[in-house]
């Protein structure tokens, strides 16, 4: 006979946090949102830790190198989508690792043989007024000079004048060398009253520019996720089909952590992939696994060697797995059970396995509930798809701006590996939709508002860190009537558009 769960499968919307004593210590400025990303032993620190408990979903419409850079600079981490060629995914990882706060890889470069026409056209297209002049016109060619708006006058100089006759030649440039710190580079800029400082290697090849205007902006990112070489951290999604070829390429490109991307991770395919990666690459290569919704699935992947576990099936805003296949579980119930299993495992073994809640978050307060219920961090797609830094187009529909957003289980993504059931069949039916989300602006601005809400809620509950929140939070079920009570009611709202 089938096994029946007597408890109702519940969502985050069915719960509220009960306030605790707000002490004088409980102010937002004192709240830490640091969270472990990968497993660690009791008494030790995790080798990878998030400064805010946010990671972006392994999706074409969410996580490319642009979003990965923006999120890492703000304390979180992206898993670059794996439903692309190995080469293109590895190149996205490289772009993130090559990015250095303040050290900008030049995307505006010409040769001495180009003309003023090319300079003007490049400035119009890219918007940059500082152009590196290299022997081959590439961003890492031998630096021969720099041309800026101070080197020419459109009203006086002929448009066919060669760049080599207008540029400031290398011999007259003040340059920095690869290996110098950002502080040292800024000291040179201020000492010599420069607007920019080219950074070259020992062979005079251009590597970066450091700009005076960026000096203050670097101080706006105190939570940057950096490795021991001061490079941004980045993750990458993989699958159980081509991991033998994909993982070595991603590791070589510099990926800091990997995650098996599957709608249902409780499978032998995923366990075999984890074991193979660990046997071939050792424990230095960190691999997350999932998704699961119960204790059995959690323990199965932990025993295979997973470094963190993703929780959630069918709860994403563009996911229709429950509708199509009838599998899944309410996200709150799934997180509570897996968190309990995680804690029991920790007590028995002394090894802490972080869990990631994936899906089911509709309101910002759901994030605090998820963290209080035991999630260490959150993976989100819709939330990040709305921002400038996501890879999709911004469109105007009616009077509103939107961004495109599609699921990995949609025909548009054609990511059949994520829904792989073995054998040689491809994607037979969709488990995701193609949609739009309201455009929301810059990631940094929105993330500051969201983390501000989380910190304020934690203060109202009496906590200044996530472990304390998980340990002692008070959570109550709510009725449908109390949900209505929680919003504006029994009033006539003003029309703020007039």
Catalytic hit among 26, 207, 259, 319: 319
Which pLDDT does position 355 carry in this prediction?
98
Question: How far is 246 from 95, CA to CA, in rounded Å?
Answer: 17
Q: Is 279 helix (H, G, I), strand (E, B) or coil?
A: helix
Residue with tokens 């009253």: 193
Alpha helix positions (H), 32-181: 65-73, 86-98, 116-126, 163-166
Bridge-based pairing state of the strands 109-110 and 77-80? unpaired
State percent of the chain over pLDDT 90: 71
Q: How far apart are CA 379 and CA 54, in angstroms?
A: 6
Global pTM? Answer: 0.79
Tokens linked to 180: 């110098």
Model confidence at 19: pLDDT above 70: yes
Residue 441 has pLDDT above 60, yes or no: yes
The dihedral built from the CA positions of residue 373, 376, 381 and 382, taken in this order, carries a sign that is positive
pLDDT at 102: 74
Which of 309, 324, 311, 292 minimizes the C-alpha distance to 410? 324
- Which string of DSSP letters, residue by residue, matches 4-19? ---S----GGGEEEEP
pLDDT of residue 175: 96
Mean pLDDT (whole number) for 184-198: 92
Which pLDDT value is given to residue 198?
Answer: 95
Q: Which of 42-46, 95-99, 226-230 has the highest mean pLDDT?
A: 42-46
Find where tokens 């029991």 sit: 344
Higher pLDDT, 424 or 350: 350
pLDDT confidence bin for 443, thresholds 50/70/90: very high
Is 319 known to be catalytic? yes
Phi then psi dihedrals of residue 214, to 5 deg: -85, -10
pLDDT tens-place string over residues 41-69: 999 999 999 999 999 999 999 999 999 99
pLDDT single digits (tens) 121-134: 988 877 778 999 99
Q: Which residue has the higher pLDDT, 100 or 378?
A: 378
pLDDT, mean over the chain: 90
Please pick, among 259, 418, 459, 461, the residue that the annotation labels catalytic: 418
The pLDDT value recorded for residue 249 is 98
Rounded to 5 degrees, what are φ and ψ at 78?
-105, 145
Residue found by looking up tokens 């260490």 in the block: 376
* Residue 153 to residue 48: CA distance in whole angstroms: 52
The answer, yes or no, to whether residue 325 has pLDDT greater than 90, is no
**What's the average model confidence in pLDDT over 384-392?**
94
Rg (CA), the chain: 25
pLDDT of 323: 62
Give yes or no: 150 in active site.
no
Q: Which two tokens stand for residue 122?
A: 């490049």
257 DSSP β-pair partners: 235
């Amino acid at each position: 006979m089938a096994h029946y769960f007597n408890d109702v499968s519940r969502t985050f919307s069915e719960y509220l946090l009960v306030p605790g004593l707000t002490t004088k210590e409980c102010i937002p400025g004192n709240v830490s949102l640091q969270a472990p990303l990968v497993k660690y032993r009791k008494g030790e620190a995790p080798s990878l830790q998030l400064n805010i408990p946010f990671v972006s979903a392994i999706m074409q419409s969410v996580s490319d190198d642009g979003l990965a850079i923006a999120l890492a600079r703000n304390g979180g981490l992206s898993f670059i989508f794996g439903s692309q060629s190995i080469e293109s995914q590895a190149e996205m990882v490289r772009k993130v690792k090559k990015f250095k706060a303040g050290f900008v890889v030049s995307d505006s470069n010409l040769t001495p043989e180009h003309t003023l026409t090319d300079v003007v056209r490049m400035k119009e297209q890219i918007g940059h007024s500082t152009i590196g002049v290299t022997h081959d016109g590439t961003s890492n060619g031998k630096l021969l000079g720099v041309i800026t708006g101070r080197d020419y006058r459109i009203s006086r100089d002929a448009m066919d004048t060669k760049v080599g006759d207008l540029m400031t030649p290398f011999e007259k440039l003040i340059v920095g060398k690869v290996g110098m710190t950002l502080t040292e580079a800024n000291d040179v800029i201020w000492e010599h009253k420069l607007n920019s400082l080219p950074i070259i290697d020992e062979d005079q090849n251009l590597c970066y520019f450091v700009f005076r205007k960026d000096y203050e902006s670097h101080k706006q990112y105190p939570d940057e996720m950096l490795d021991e070489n001061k490079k941004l951290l980045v993750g990458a999604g993989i699958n159980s089909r081509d991991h033998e070829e994909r993982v070595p390429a991603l590791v070589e490109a510099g990926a800091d952590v990997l995650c098996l991307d599957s709608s249902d991770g409780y499978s032998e395919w995923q366990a075999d992939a984890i074991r193979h990666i660990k046997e071939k690459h050792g424990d230095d290569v960190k691999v997350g696994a999932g998704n699961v919704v119960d204790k059995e699935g959690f323990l199965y992947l932990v025993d295979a060697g997973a470094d963190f576990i993703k929780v959630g099936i069918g709860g994403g805003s563009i996911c229709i797995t429950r509708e199509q296949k009838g599998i899944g579980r309410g996200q709150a119930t799934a997180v509570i059970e897996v968190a309990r299993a995680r804690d029991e495992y920790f007590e028995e073994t002394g090894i802490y396995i972080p869990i990631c809640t994936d899906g089911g978050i509709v309101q910002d307060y759901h994030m605090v509930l998820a963290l209080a219920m035991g999630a260490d961090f959150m993976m989100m797609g819709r939330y990040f798809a709305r921002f400038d830094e996501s890879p999709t187009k911004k469109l105007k529909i009616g009077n509103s701006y939107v961004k495109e957003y599609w699921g990995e289980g949609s025909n548009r993504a054609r990511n059949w590996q994520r829904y792989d059931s073995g054998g040689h069949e491809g994607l037979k039916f969709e488990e995701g939709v193609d949609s739009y989300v309201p455009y929301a602006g810059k990631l940094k601005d929105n993330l500051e508002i969201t983390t501000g809400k989380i910190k304020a809620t934690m203060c109202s509950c009496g906590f200044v860190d996530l472990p304390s929140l998980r340990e002692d939070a008070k959570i109550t079920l709510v009725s449908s009537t109390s949900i209505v009570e929680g919003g504006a009611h029994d009033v006539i709202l003003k029309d703020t558009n007039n």
